[in-house]
Amino acid sequence: MSKNAIKADYVDVDCGPALVGRLLPQRPPFLMVDRVDAFAPGDRPAVRASRFLTANESFFAGHFPDLPIMPGALLLEGVGQTASLAFTLSAILDAYTERGSDLEQLVADMASLDAAFSLKPGFRDPGKPLIMDAFERLRGLPVGVAGGVRLKFLRAVTPGCRLVYEAQLTHRLAEQVRFEVLATVDGEPVLEGSLAAAILEDLPLPGR
């Protein structure tokens, strides 16, 4: 796999930390995604997400005091959370399609909800948008890493950088799924590889 291996027809998405917190079960300091920047629908859904790393991240204090480097396990967690987002957004879009709506409406609803959750201008009150019905259909954690982790760690990740994650669903067999994953800083790969995961439905999500 190369840094250009993830080919997807991305659509820009405006999804900040407040809405990310509704799409993932993790919470700070273990939430490794700040934003969802783009989503590609289809049989091979993909997500591009990001995280800005400040010098105040708790893990930098001990890893290492004189040479702060992001632990590889947390890079793995970041691409794993991005893979979960790809699967979750695909499931939400399926719910929209069943209601006769489309990706354009989903992106608009996400931007509106993000504005509402973040107390930013731009919120419109559409009543109960389809996305809220879609949230209710997600009874449990959509994807959990089950094994088959194959990753290459290519460069150190240090404070002050914007870490960009990508994950694309490439295979599905029953409840088993596989993702190609990539993490970059300034367009240069820092991690690449694949993750195998299982779809879970009985682990409750916070706030549901």
Which positions are annotated as active-site residues?
63
Reply yes or no: is the peptide bond before residue 123 cis, omega within 30 of 0: no
Report the greatest alpha carbon distance in the chain.
Answer: 56
- HSE of 80, CA atoms in CB hemisphere, 13 A: 25
Cα-Cα-Cα-Cα torsion 171, 130, 47, 202, nearest 10 degrees, comes to: -50
Q: 13, 62, 76, 11: which is closest to 40 by C-alpha?
A: 11
CA distances from 29 to 58, 74, 119, 164 (A): 8, 11, 22, 18
| 3-state helix, strand and coil shares in percent for the chain, rounded to the nearest 5 | 30, 30, 40
Q: Could you report how far apart the first and last alpha carbons of the chain are, in Å? A: 37
Q: 78, 13, 20: which is closest to 45 by C-alpha?
A: 13
